Structure 1
Amino acid sequence: MNSNNRRGRRPPSAQPAARDLTVTIRDVGHRGDGVADLSPPLFVPRTLAGETVRVRASGSHADPLEIVSASPDRQTPPCPYFGTCGGCAVQHMADPAYRAWKRGLVVAALADRGIDTPVAPLVAASPGSRRRAVLTAHGSGRTVRLGYHARASHDIVDIESCLVLTPGLVERFTAFRDIARLAHPKKGSLRMTVTETETGVDVALEGGAEPDHAGFGALATIMQRNGIARVTLDGATLLALTEPVVRIGRATVGFPPGGFLQATAEAEQELAFRVSSALAGAKRVADLFSGAGTFALRLAETAPVLAVESDRALLDASVAAAARTEGLKPVKGICRDLFTFPVSAKELAKVDGLVFDPPRAGAAAQAAEIATSGVKTVVAVSCNPATLARDLRLLLDGGYVLDEVVPVDQFLYAPHIEVVAVLHRS
């Protein structure tokens, strides 16, 4: 018997005893779970504010057993995998309530940092518009499962379709599964990032095994029949029929294996419009966390751009695209980790317009430098309202004023939201 048991403590592997309760849902939290009106809170997936629900609780989470009293905002989830697949959280929420909840995530995050400002109505996402997805394959032989992880589990939900993805990706699910069979490792799972590009689908595999000679022949056949431009394994090309390229403004960009791209083309257009409009009068612009040039290549239509990005492949692709595109101003690229080595206020001395679009962790160190700079107009783009609010607080404390905050949904039914915030130096 270990010492924890002698002291009467629960062994680390033991789970809290399950108990059945009837609860009222107070609201829907930032992860999409209903929050029961209890102290401490109890989180119940697939429930809505105002509902009375019979649940089976274990610790701080519960599974809904019966909706005793349903909200008028409840709808029948449109996807047959909802409730099993962990990819979507709120398909049971009708559209008006869904839009209000998504916008409310931004309002709440700003309020937590003491930022009281108008937030524009949500720019909505469309079904069938996501052009990039990360799938997981697991199994062996003919029994490979391909899909998303089940909620709070390593299990893979084998899916044949996904209503948030573009039809072009959905119609290739059989081909993706066939590729997974050819490259699946003997143990573990295979991660597959699929991206729809102008010249065909790019398939980036991670953690797989290189096919044998016969497997390469089969792979070539699958790609030719299904419009798959390239398949890579851990960043190295297995087979390429043509170079995957994406169109950004006037430029055509060679797409690096597994590279980052905004999830939907329509959201990218909206974000780019907001950024370009805000920086339209700038004489020299900086794009920090510039990626493949989503903003830099469009901003270069009117002003020289300093593009700073830590991913060398993405940076090189965008700079090369700018150089060969007629009519664009120069794009100077700097490869740099902005988390540990942010662009200083001194380096920004000649910049009068700036956009930064960091990962979910935000850009606290970079925002602190911008806050002490003389940059006239700053646009912050983020997929995490909490870290965005933290970074905006730094800018506001440094003398900037918020002009607008616009939530842009490109993660339909998921608890993620893109936000554009425009600020000017007071």
Structure 2
Amino acid sequence: MDQTELTIERLSLHADGVAHGPAGTVHVAMALPGEVASGDIVEGRIAVPRIVTPSDRRVKAPCPHYRACGGCVLQHASDDFVAGWKASVVETALAARGIAASVSRVETSPLHSRRRATLAGRRTKKGTLVGFHARASDTLVEVPDCLILRPELLAALPALHEATAMGGSRKGEIAFALTLSEAGIEMAAKGGKEIEPALFTQLADLARRHDLARLSWNDETVAARRPAQQSFGTAKVTPPPGAFLQATASGEAALVDFVRGAVGKAARVADLFAGCGTFALPLAANAEVHAVEGDATMLTALDRGWREAQGLKRVTHEVRDLFRRPLLPDELDRHDAIVIDPPRAGAEAQVREICASKTRTLAYVSCNPVTFARDAQLLIAAGFALRDLIVVDQFRWSAHVELAARFTRG
């Protein structure tokens, strides 16, 4: 081990401070650019630094769990700094591809607004532990006073402890995906014991006692006491257990508003990687929409939500793996605008087909600035112009960066 003073030059994509030490690059946890930090360097990292010279952008972390919990990595930085850094992550990724662009605004979700989170549960000699993992560790940190989660999720922690005691093992962890629906809390647990009649009965009783809307265990629905509905525009959708949902209501609203503005008055829209209809159903208020998604259960939920809603234009859907079978130019050309919201891998194959089509308007929502920049380079080479670019920070104080962009050509 070696202890020395280092000056932080920048933040990494994981929000660690980056400095250059005697043996090369050193990552420094909880440090900010311009600060001087010291500590033991272990395998190129200072995990617990002493800040010798603090930045004027450093603030006191508001959460009592901050130094132990790995859920947040930037509470030591001012809100203005965090917003600026997330914008710079996007701009730097684009610049690396030769694209000069500026983020026009950053929409940050407020405290206590996360309606979806995955916590871990583990049995111990003394009982149970439920919480988030510590930084770069298997250690679980309980977070009863978390500043990020909705109060309703925090109120469900006793149910997670009970479920861990019922179905957990000393050798593994249970992943509890909690989602706040309009009917209450949904719990989707994976990694616990195989379900058998006695455990099924115990879990069903747990759902009743804690008033859960829905409980599933290793992909098997144990209790569906009320439809775990979400509102997408005027439609009410009941997603399958554990299905993807934008992390905060305010973040979702910002993305939907941006996408609506991007497609404008388009009469026919294709929504690719459509999920359960986050964009497709609000857009159907003014346009016919064709929703394409690889998960059939999500599209079933979308279709039912559309059929039960009033006043929406026609929404068709198609189950299709867009990585292996992207929509081809002649299929894309049936639409006036395209919306695309791929996973972290981006959508290179689909974007190449968009480039070869006659598409003139594209709204691109991304959770990975690096793959977005790769796809943006292809689009610009095909004649598209990047007209607007925003960051939507639903994962406050984390290193996660989400964005939305509008492209047009012709």
Task: State the TM bucket, normalised to the shorter chain.
Answer: over 0.9
The offset of 1:331, in angstroms, is: 1.3
Counterpart residue number, 1:289 = 273
1:328 aligns with 2:312: yes
The within-5 A match list for 1:254-333 is: 254-333=238-317
Residues 1:192 and 2:176 aligned together: yes
1:75 alignment partner, one of 59, 63, 66: 59
Counterpart of 1:32 in structure 2 is: 15
Alignment deviations for residues 46-76 of structure 1 (CA, whole Å, 9 cap, x no partner)? 0111111112112222223311111111111
* Structure 1: gaps spanning 5 or more residues: 1-17
Name the CA distance, whole Å, in 2 between partners of 1:334 and 1:234.
27
Q: Which residue of structure 2 lines up, in the alignment, with residue 52 of structure 1?
A: 36
Matches of 1:185 and 1:248 in 2, distance apart? Answer: 38
Per-residue deviation at 1:281? Answer: 1.1
Within a 5 Å distance, the mapping from 1:142-157 to structure 2 comes to 143-157=127-141
Which residue of 18, 38, 41 maps to 2:25?
A: 41
* Secondary structure of residue in 1 paired with 2:146: coil
Residues 339, 366 of structure 1: 8 Å contact kept: yes
Q: Output the CA distance in 1 between the equivalents of 2:127 and 2:158.
A: 13
Paired residue secondary structure (1:219): helix
Paired residue for 1:22? 5
Structure 1, 174-183 or 399-408: larger mean CA deviation: 174-183
Q: Matched residues in 2 for 1:122 and 1:303: separation?
A: 28
Decide whether the 8 Å contact of 1:132 with 1:196 is kept in 2: yes
Aligned-residue identity in percent: 38
**CA distance, structure 2, for counterparts of residue 413 and residue 97 of structure 1:** 11
The secondary structure found in structure 2 opposite 1:87 is coil
Q: Distance in 1 between matches of 2:43 and 2:122?
A: 30
Please name the residue that 1:373 is paired with: 357
Q: How does 1:222-237 map to 2 (within 5 A)?
A: 222-237=206-221
Q: 2:7 & 2:192 partners in 1: Cα distance? A: 46
After superposing the two structures, state which structure 1 stretch, 61-70 or 250-259, moved more.
61-70
Matched-pair contact (CA < 8 Å) for 1:161–1:173: no
Give per-residue Cα distances to partners, 1:304-352, cap 9 Å, x unaligned: 1111111111111001211221111121111111111111112112111
Q: Which residue of 1 aligns with 2:115?
A: 131
Task: Give how far 1:142 is off.
Answer: 5.5
- Inter-partner Cα distance in structure 2 for 1:88 and 1:117: 28
Greater displacement, 63-72 / 220-229: 220-229
Which residue number corresponds to residue 151 of structure 2?
A: 167
For 1:348, which of 332, 342, 348 is the aligned residue? 332
Counterpart of 1:8? none
Partner letter of residue 288 of structure 2?
P
Question: Residue deviations 1:110-162, cap 9 Å, x none?
Answer: 11111102311211121111100011111247621111112112222233232
Counterpart amino acid of residue 65 in structure 2: Y
Aligned length in residues? 409
1:140 touches 1:181 (CA, 8 Å); kept in 2? Answer: no
- Could you tell me which residue of structure 2 aligns to residue 61 of structure 1? 45
Q: Is the 8 A contact 1:182 1:211 kept in 2?
A: no
Q: Give the Cα–Cα distance (whole angstroms) in 1 for the partners of residues 338 and 235 of structure 2.
A: 20
* Matching residue's letter, 1:110: L
User: Would the alpha carbon gap of residues 141 and 212 (structure 1) be closer, same or farther in structure 2, given more than 3 Å must change?
Assistant: farther
TM-score normalized by structure 2?
A: 0.96
Q: Equivalent of 1:421, from 377, 390, 405?
A: 405
SS of structure 2 residue aligned to 1:123: strand
Match of 2:142 among 130, 155, 158: 158
* Residues 58, 78 of structure 2: 8 Å contact kept: yes
Measured in 2, the distance between the counterparts of 1:217 and 1:178 equals 13
Q: Take 1:138 and 1:170, find their aligned partners in 2: how far apart are those partners?
A: 17
Q: Which stretch of structure 1 is more off in the superposition, 206-215 or 259-268? A: 206-215
Q: Distance in 2 between matches of 1:379 and 1:211?
A: 43
CA distance in 2, matches of 1:240, 1:141: 32
From 371, 382, 392, the equivalent of 1:398 is 382
Aligned amino acid, residue 28 of structure 1: L
How far apart in 1 are the matches of 2:116 and 2:107? 19
What displacement does 1:217 show? Answer: 5.1
Matched residue type, 2:112: G
Change (3 A) 1:119 1:350: same
RMSD value over aligned CA atoms? 1.6
Aligned partner of 1:252 in structure 2 is 236
Deviates more, 1:56-65 or 1:83-92: 56-65
Q: Per the alignment, do residues 271 and 48 of structure 1 end up closer, same or farther by CA in structure 2, a change over 3 Å counting?
A: same
Moved more, 219-228 or 414-423: 219-228
> What does 1:357-368 correspond to in 2, within 5 Å?
357-368=341-352
Q: Which runs of 5+ in 2 are unaligned?
A: none
Structure 1 residue identity aligned to 2:228: P
Alpha-carbon contact 2:61-2:75 (below 8 Å) kept? yes
**TM-score of the aligned structures, taking structure 1 as reference length:** 0.92
The Cα of 1:106 is off from its aligned counterpart by 1.0
Separation in structure 2 between the aligned mates of residue 222 and residue 419 of structure 1, nearest angstrom: 39
* Pairwise CA distance, 1:219: 3.5
Given that residues 28 and 35 in structure 1 are in contact (C-alpha distance below 8 angstroms), is that contact kept between their aligned partners in structure 2? yes
Provide the rounded CA distance (Å) in 1 between the counterparts of 2:197 and 2:355.
57
